[in-house]
Amino acid sequence: MLIDFHTHAFPDKIAQRALSSLAARVNCTPLTDGTVSGLLEKMNEWSVDRAVVCNIATNPKQTVNVNNFAMETNSLHGDRLTALGSVNPGYDDIPGELNRIAGTGIPGIKIHPEYMGHTVDDPVFDTIFELAAELDLFVITHAGFDAYSPSRIFANPDAILRRLRRSPKTKFVCAHWGSNMMWHETYGKLLGEELWIDTSLCVFSALDKNFAVKMLNKHDSSRILFARDCPWDSSSETFIYMDSLPISDDFKDKIFYANAEYLLKTQH
């Protein structure tokens, strides 16, 4: 069983435009065409049983449409995909939209501080985190370096720690091993805290395997999630990377699917 906790897809009518724009910004060639069908095709190729689609409302006006797309995706492909909701902190009815998300069975939401223009510890996110906790929704955030904003990191380990202290009841997932390309700082400040990390971009960003093992062994084994950040990194290469690490089979099972099943409220 393999669950990929961090992928992206877009509505067919905007997928090409959205992916082309993102690829130019991050100077990276995508591995899918950005559509749901393209993601499913790669999942089959890479032997992924289920994928989490991380949607992002980059501005307030997108919020409802982004969540409509997530709901449609789950309705059509719920056997393979779990599409997350998203609420931009500038949206005018955050409680209403979070309740709508939770009411359809979506288990979590994605935020991206860089795209939303606020650091992850900014008070503008407080209502989102507080209501997410009340509704039993997890929150996953981009964390660490992002080529979209190379000169400023909106979710570094210190900001993440401050958010943890502000929102201790929220199930909080930090992508890219806790903070992309800030792994030593992550190791010293975040690992062992009550948050989840995903393993996306370890191949793309060339995380040293010896240090990866050190990071895994410091963190709670029930709070680590297999992920790759498709379409930017390959699930097969990420699986090979993770499977090659000298950790127990039980630990790998937790990473590859069991921990994700807890957050997604699913069983295989």
3-state secondary structure (DSSP) of residue 74: helix
> Contact, 179 vs 201, CB < 8 A?
no
pLDDT band of residue 73 (cuts 50, 70, 90) is: very high
Instruction: Give the pair of three-digit tokens for residue 229.
Output: 């950040």
Q: Is the pLDDT score of 252 beyond 70?
A: yes
pLDDT of residue 125: 98
Instruction: State mean pLDDT over 22-36.
Output: 79
Q: What digits encode the pLDDT tens for the residues 202-221?
A: 988 889 999 999 999 999 99
Q: What digits encode the pLDDT tens for the residues 30-71?
A: 788 989 999 999 999 999 999 999 999 999 999 999 999 999
Q: What digits encode the pLDDT tens for the residues 109-120?
A: 999 999 999 999
Instruction: Report how far residue 228's alpha carbon sits from residue 176's, in angstroms, rounded to the nearest whole number.
Output: 8
CATH topology for the 3-264 domain: TIM Barrel (3.20.20)
Q: Is the pLDDT score of 25 beyond 70?
A: no
pLDDT band of residue 251 (cuts 50, 70, 90) is: very high
What dihedral do alpha carbons 115, 104, 172, 129 form, nearest 10°? 70
Instruction: Report how far residue 50's alpha carbon sits from residue 53's, in angstroms, rounded to the nearest whole number.
Output: 10
Q: What digits encode the pLDDT tens for the residues 120-172?
A: 999 999 999 999 999 999 999 999 999 888 889 999 999 999 999 999 999 99
Please report, rounded to a whole number, the percentage of residues in the chain having pLDDT higher than 90: 83
Q: Is the pLDDT score of 18 beyond 90?
A: no
pLDDT of residue 36: 97
Look at 34 and 21; give whichever has higher pLDDT.
34
Instruction: Give the pair of three-digit tokens for residue 245.
Output: 């690490």
Instruction: Give the pair of three-digit tokens for residue 194.
Output: 């009550």
pLDDT of residue 230: 84
Q: Is the pLDDT score of 267 beyond 80?
A: no
Q: What is the pLDDT of the chain when averaged over all its residues?
A: 94
Instruction: Give the pair of three-digit tokens for residue 134.
Output: 């009340």
pLDDT band of residue 262 (cuts 50, 70, 90) is: very high
Q: Where in the chain are the domains?
A: 3-264
Instruction: Report how far residue 219's alpha carbon sits from residue 80's, in angstroms, rounded to the nearest whole number.
Output: 28
pLDDT of residue 17: 84
Q: Is the pLDDT score of 268 beyond 60?
A: no
> Contact, 71 vs 106, CB < 8 A?
yes
The CA-atom distances, in angstroms, between 206 and each of 5, 176, 209, 212, 237 are 19, 12, 9, 10, 12
Please report the beta strands in the chain, taking only residues with DSSP state E, as ranges in sequence order: 3-7, 50-53, 81-83, 108-111, 138-141, 172-174, 196-198, 224-225
